[in-house]
């Protein structure tokens, strides 16, 4: 008899979570202005808002924290992190930051200026925000298959070479500071980018003299998909695949709260000494000295261990299999989700789920709120609220997909929780025709509005 799969870890500590009543959730949601970001964590039973910084660290990581060196400059913790990042990425220079968006802020302060365009594969919210706040423009060059949830394409995060070359032909080289490859591509459903596509983007970009940078928050998950799906990669290690991927770029930003397996932290890794020097100045201004950059020594020590753990096949198999388990449960119930299932989350197509809700009433946010009211599960809208307004016309931007993301924290929940989530969403799906109205905005910020927007029922 073949032995069933078992997770390659055992649980060492637990945290109590409390289930609430439907009446309590209705009142809490109203007080939160129907924005799930405004809920208290004590009001949430299962929290799928994000996988960023919400996972469980290993005993080895906790042990490393006890030996963290808190020296202001040149700490041993920085040296260990630098050595680890060099080993995994091949990049020479390291600038720690307190999280991924801080890395974007520092690097884009060097590279991005008014009027620039940055092509890439579905830039995520903070990335686009850091581009647009500098009066530049993000241009989405993702393959069309990414926007058909039923298409079985194995690498929906890929960049469409024709779309990318059109950008290179349309704009002068001086207006294109870099091409950005996001691995995995969050906004298209946690979908991977193939090594073949990275090589092709590199070859095309070289012809036009455009450097490549990576948004690397989930680079290890991307490498896992390459190993499992891309011909000729099945016998390589995750670390080997990741290192080749990074060889096609000149630098990267990292939110370590994802594939770094820590609760806080980020970094920039580079091969260009001049860019490093310029970015160092902004690191000192925005973050801290260049060998800690907003991170405590103990957190850098935990991150060095986490990066190595996250690039081991056994961990990734456990992590991604759980996400796939939830996705398959929802598919069994007839729930419309992005296929294939992504690496860090399951993405529900709210336009198919709630066809009666007009887009100007934010169907993805409507669905996310209904899931919370049903079972105390907090998810997040990846749709029109997140897409924000056009910076020139100030009109809503309606993305091709209106998604609700179920982001699974790493090493945190069991498959019993996944079963609970799937049953709750099926209950909402069974009463979907009763949901007639969405929401309207009563207040919003000028950029990245989805974090703080205030809504009321339409």
- Domains of the chain are 22-51+313-457 (3.90.1150.10), 59-310 (3.40.640.10)
Closest of 375, 376, 377, 369 to residue 353, by C-alpha: 369
* Residues that are catalytic: 72, 124-125, 215, 217, 258, 450
Question: Where do we find the tokens 């997770």?
Answer: 7
CB contact at 8 A, 139 and 171: no
How does pLDDT run across 345-359, given as a tens digit for each residue?
999 999 999 999 999
DSSP E strand boundaries for 362-436:
377-378, 380-382, 403-407
Q: How far is CA 457 from CA 34, 239, 351, 420, 454, in A?
A: 8, 49, 18, 27, 11
Strands 117-120 and 93-97: unpaired
Q: How far is CA 34 from CA 37, 439, 453, in A?
A: 9, 8, 9
What whole-number distance in Å separates Cα of residue 110 and Cα of residue 365?
35
pLDDT tens track of the chain, all 458 residues? 989 889 999 999 999 999 999 999 999 999 999 999 999 999 999 999 999 999 999 999 999 999 999 999 999 999 999 999 999 999 999 999 999 999 999 999 999 999 999 999 999 888 999 999 999 999 999 999 999 999 999 999 999 999 999 999 999 999 999 999 999 998 888 999 999 999 999 999 999 999 999 999 999 999 999 999 999 999 999 999 999 999 999 999 999 999 999 999 999 999 999 999 999 999 999 999 999 999 999 999 999 999 999 999 999 999 999 999 999 999 999 999 999 999 999 999 999 999 999 999 999 999 999 999 999 999 999 999 988 898 889 889 899 899 999 999 999 999 999 999 999 999 999 999 999 999 999 999 988 899 999 999 99
What whole-number distance in Å separates Cα of residue 343 and Cα of residue 192?
8
pLDDT score of 84: 98
What whole-number distance in Å separates Cα of residue 230 and Cα of residue 363?
35
CB contact at 8 A, 407 and 380: yes
Closest of 452, 420, 432, 405 to residue 45, by C-alpha: 420
3-state secondary structure of 193: coil
What lies within 8 Å, CB to CB, of 165 at 6+ separation is 204, 208
Burial of 172 (0-12, 13-18, 19+ CB in 10 A): exposed
């Amino acid at each position: 008899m073949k032995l069933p799969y078992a997770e390659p870890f055992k649980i060492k500590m637990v945290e109590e979570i409390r289930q609430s009543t439907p009446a309590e959730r209705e009142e809490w949601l109203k007080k939160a202005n129907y924005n799930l970001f405004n809920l208290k964590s004590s009001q949430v039973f299962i929290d799928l808002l994000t996988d960023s910084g919400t996972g469980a660290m290993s005993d080895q990581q906790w042990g490393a924290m006890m030996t963290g060196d808190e020296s202001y400059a040149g700490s041993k913790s920085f040296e260990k992190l630098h050595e680890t990042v060099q080993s995994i990425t091949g990049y020479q220079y390291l600038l720690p930051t307190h999280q991924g968006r801080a890395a974007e802020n520092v690097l884009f302060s060097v590279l991005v200026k008014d009027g620039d365009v940055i092509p890439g594969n579905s830039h995520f919210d903070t990335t686009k925000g850091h581009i647009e706040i500098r009066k530049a423009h993000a241009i989405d060059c993702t393959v069309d298959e990414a926007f058909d949830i039923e298409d079985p394409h194995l690498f929906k995060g890929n960049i469409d070479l024709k779309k990318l070359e059109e950008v290179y032909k349309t704009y002068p080289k001086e207006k294109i500071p870099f091409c950005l490859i996001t691995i995995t591509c969050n906004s298209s459903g946690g979908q991977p980018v193939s090594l073949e596509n990275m090589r092709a983007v590199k070859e095309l970009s070289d012809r036009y003299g455009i450097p490549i940078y990576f948004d690397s928050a989930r680079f290890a998950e991307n490498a896992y998909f390459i190993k499992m799906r891309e011909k000729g990669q099945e016998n390589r290690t995750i670390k080997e695949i990741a290192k080749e991927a990074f060889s096609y770029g000149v630098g990267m930003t990292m939110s370590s709260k994802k594939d770094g397996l820590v609760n806080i932290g980020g970094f920039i890794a580079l091969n260009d000494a001049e860019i490093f020097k310029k970015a160092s100045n902004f690191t000192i201004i925005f973050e801290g000295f260049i060998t800690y950059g907003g991170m405590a020594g103990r957190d850098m020590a935990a991150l060095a261990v986490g990066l190595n753990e996250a690039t081991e096949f056994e961990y990734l198999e456990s992590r991604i299999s759980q996400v796939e388990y939830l996705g398959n449960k929802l598919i069994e119930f007839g729930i419309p989700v992005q296929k294939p299932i992504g690496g860090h989350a399951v993405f529900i197509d709210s336009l198919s789920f709630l066809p009666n809700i007009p887009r100007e009433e934010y169907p993805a946010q409507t669905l996310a709120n209904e899931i919370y009211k049903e079972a105390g599960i907090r998810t997040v809208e990846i749709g029109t609220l997140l897409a924000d307004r056009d910076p020139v016309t100030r009109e809503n931007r309606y993305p091709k997909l209106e998604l609700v993301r179920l982001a699974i924290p790493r090493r945190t929940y069991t498959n019993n929780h996944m079963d609970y989530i799937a049953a709750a969403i099926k209950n909402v799906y069974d009463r979907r025709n009763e949901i007639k109205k969405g929401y309207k905005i009563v207040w919003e910020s000028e950029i990245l509005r989805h974090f703080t927007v205030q809504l009321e029922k339409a």
